Chains A and B, each alone.
Chain A
C-alpha cells in the first residue's frame, strides 16, 4: 500500500525514498559505536557522510514487496504450467540438461551465499540507506536460490545428477572453484564484499552469466529455466545499479579510498573472469542450439560495456582492471580448454560430456577462425575417433590446481596457447603454484588467506575425501569409487559420456511416448 500524507496527496518518489531510508537509525548511548559496528573501519575505507548514499531507483520496502510478489506470481504460474505440460520433453536435446546441472550445482548455491553476504554487509554498515539496499538484495538472493532449486526440482524427477547440489558444492572438485570464489568474498570485509559482488560480479560480469543462460534456455525450449532466469534478472538490473552506486559512493567519500578500491577491482574482475570460464564452456559446447559464442558475448558485454564503464570511472582516478591484454587474447581459447578438461575428467563429474557433432565443430570453426582448427579441432577429432573405437578418453590422474582460482592448471601462457602457464611463489618455506600472473598477484597480496585453500586434488591425497570409516590401506582399495561415494555421485549414472547414458535413453523413450500412441 502506498503511503498517504494527511492532505491525501501521494508522496513524490524522492520524498518517499527520503522518508523510508533516512532517520531510521539511532546514536548509540550505552555501547560504544565501534562495538556496535565493528567491521566498518578495518579495511581502511573512509566514509564521512553515509546519507550521500542514494539508490538511483529510489525503491522503498513497500514497493519492493509489491513488485516482488508480482514477480513470484508470474513465475509460479509458468513453473506450474511447465510441469503440468511435461515441458521437460520439449527441450532441444537431453544434452542441454547438463548445462542446467552445472547451473544448479555451480550457481544456485552461490545465490544463497550472496544472500548471506548481503545480510552481513547490511548489518555492518552504519548508514541506513545502504542497509535498506543490502536488505533488499539479501532477500532477492534468497529468492533466487529458492526459485532456482524449486524450478529445477522438476528435472530431478526425471534425470540424473540433480539430486544433491548443496552437498556437492562442499566437496566436488570443480565446484571448489565457484565455492572458493564466494567464500573469499563473504570472508572479506563489508566494503570489499560490496566491490567484489556488488560491483565486479553483478555489474561487470553478471550479464555474461544470465543473458546467455536465459537466452540459451529460451533457444533450447527450456521454459522453466527461462522464467526463473528472467525473474532473477529483473532483480539483477537493480543489483547492477547498486553495484555502480556503491563504487561511486566509496570513491567520492575520500581520495584515500581510490587505491584500495582499485586493488579490489583488479582482484575481483580477475577472479570473476576465471569463474566464468565455466559459462564460456556452457555457451560454446553445452547448448545444442547455440545463441552466440563466448567470444561474442565477451565482446558485447565486457569489452563494449565495460569499456564505457571504466571510461566513466576514470574521473575518480580508477583505471581498467589489470591483465586485460591476457583476457582479450584468451577469449579465443578458454572455453575450449575448459571443455577439454571436463571431457577428460568425465568419470568424476556429476554431469555428462560428449564429442561434439560435425556441425557443432563447424560452428566452432566459424566462430573461432583464429584458434579452433589450429589448436582444438584435431584434439576433439582424435578423441571422437577413439571413442568410436571403444577407447573413450577418461583421465584418471589428478591434476595440479591453481592455489588461487582452484582451477586445474589448464590455462596457457599469454600469447602462446601451446604452453601451459606455470607461476610459483615460495612463501614460508612452501611452494605455491598459479595458473596466471593474476592469480599469483592475488596470492601475494593475501598469502595468509590463500594458503588455506582447500584444493580438492590435494585433499584427496591427504585422505580427506572418502566416506567416514573408509580404510584406504585395505587390499584392492579403489580411491576413485570412494571419492565418488563421498561426492554422492552415482557412478555409471550421473557421470561418464552422454552417449549410452540413462538420461539419453530415458529422454528418447519418453519423447517417443509423448509423440506417438505406443
Chain B
C-alpha cells in the first residue's frame, strides 16, 4: 500500500473542494496544517467536477484547482470530469 496526497491552501475557494474530496473519497484522511490542508489517501484519490459544482452551485473548471494547489504525490490523470491521483505499485 502506498499513500497519495493532495495539499491545498486553506481558504474560501478550497472549502467546497475539500468537502467534495472528502465526500468522494471515504478512505481519505484530512490533516489541517497552518494555512493549508493535506489530504492523504491509500493508493488513489479522485477529485470530481460534478461534486464540486453541486456544492458550489455554479460551473467549475477543474483547472481552477491550479490556483490553490500546494503539492501532490502520485501519478496524475486529468480530464474535464475528474482528476485522479494513483500509484501503480
Q: Do A's and B's CB atoms come within 8 Å in the complex?
A: yes
The answer on a CB contact under 8 Å between A314 and B89 is: yes
CA distance A206 to B71 in the complex (A): 9
CA distance A315 to B7 in the complex (A): 27
The answer on a CB contact under 8 Å between B72 and A12 is: no
Answer whether A59 and B71 are a contact pair too, CB < 8 Å, given A215-B33, A312-B87.
Answer: no
Which A234-252 residues sit within 8 Å CB-CB of chain B? 234, 236-238, 240-241, 244, 248
- In the complex, which of the residues B5, B64, B76, B89 contacts A241, with contact meaning CB atoms closer than 8 Å? B76
CA distance A308 to B73 in the complex (A): 9
Q: Within 8 Å of chain B (Cβ to Cβ): is A210?
A: yes
Q: Within 8 Å of chain B (Cβ to Cβ): is A207?
A: yes
CA distance A291 to B34 in the complex (A): 9
Chain A residue numbers with a CB within 8 Å of B69 are 233-234, 237-238
CB distance from B34 to the nearest CB of A (A): 4
Q: Within 8 Å of chain B (Cβ to Cβ): is A423?
A: no
> Would you give the 0/1 interface string for A302-321, flagging 1 where the beta carbon is closer than 8 Å to chain B?
00110111011011000000
List the A residue with the shortest CB-CB distance to B83: A57
Q: Within 8 Å of chain B (Cβ to Cβ): is A327?
A: no
Chain A residue numbers with a CB within 8 Å of B87 are 308, 311-312
Answer whether A233 and B76 are a contact pair too, CB < 8 Å, given A215-B33, A218-B34, A315-B89.
Answer: no
The answer on a CB contact under 8 Å between B77 and A215 is: no
- Contact count band on A: 35 or more
Answer whether A70 and B67 are a contact pair too, CB < 8 Å, given A13-B79, A230-B9, A308-B3.
Answer: yes
CB distance from B46 to the nearest CB of A (A): 14
Answer whether A56 and B70 are a contact pair too, CB < 8 Å, given A214-B35, A215-B34, A230-B9.
Answer: no
Answer whether A240 and B71 are a contact pair too, CB < 8 Å, given A218-B34, A218-B35, A308-B87.
Answer: yes
Q: Within 8 Å of chain B (Cβ to Cβ): is A393?
A: no
The answer on a CB contact under 8 Å between B70 and A304 is: no
Q: Within 8 Å of chain A (Cβ to Cβ): is B25?
A: no
Q: Within 8 Å of chain A (Cβ to Cβ): is B16?
A: no
CB distance from B41 to the nearest CB of A (A): 12
List the A residue with the shortest CB-CB distance to B77: A56
List the B residue with the shortest CB-CB distance to A17: B78
Q: Within 8 Å of chain B (Cβ to Cβ): is A167?
A: no
The answer on a CB contact under 8 Å between B70 and A219 is: no
The answer on a CB contact under 8 Å between A67 and B73 is: no
Q: Within 8 Å of chain B (Cβ to Cβ): is A71?
A: yes
The answer on a CB contact under 8 Å between A226 and B35 is: yes
Answer whether A67 and B78 are a contact pair too, CB < 8 Å, given A226-B35, A311-B2.
Answer: no
Which B40-66 residues sit within 8 Å CB-CB of chain A? 63-64, 66
CA distance A12 to B78 in the complex (A): 11
Which A198-216 residues sit within 8 Å CB-CB of chain B? 206-207, 210-211, 214-215
> Would you give the 0/1 interface string for A171-188, flagging 1 where the beta carbon is closer than 8 Å to chain B?
000000000000000000
Answer whether A309 and B73 are a contact pair too, CB < 8 Å, given A13-B79, A13-B80, A215-B34.
Answer: yes
CA distance A66 to B3 in the complex (A): 32
List the B residue with the shortest CB-CB distance to A309: B73
The answer on a CB contact under 8 Å between B78 and A56 is: yes
Q: Within 8 Å of chain B (Cβ to Cβ): is A63?
A: yes
CA distance A458 to B2 in the complex (A): 47
Answer whether A238 and B89 are a contact pair too, CB < 8 Å, given A244-B75, A308-B2.
Answer: no
The answer on a CB contact under 8 Å between A312 and B78 is: no
Please report B residues at the A interface, Cβ cutoff 8 Å.
2-5, 7, 9, 33-36, 63-64, 66-80, 87-89
The 10 A-B residue pairs whose C-beta atoms are closest, nearest first, are A308-B2, A56-B76, A218-B35, A218-B34, A237-B69, A67-B66, A312-B89, A233-B70, A311-B89, A13-B80
The contact sample of 10 A-B pairs, CB cut-off 8 A, is A13-B63, A56-B75, A59-B63, A215-B33, A234-B9, A237-B66, A237-B70, A240-B71, A305-B5, A312-B75
Given contacts A215-B36, A238-B69, 10 further A-B contacts (CB under 8 A): A12-B80, A13-B78, A56-B75, A56-B77, A67-B64, A206-B71, A237-B66, A237-B71, A304-B3, A305-B73
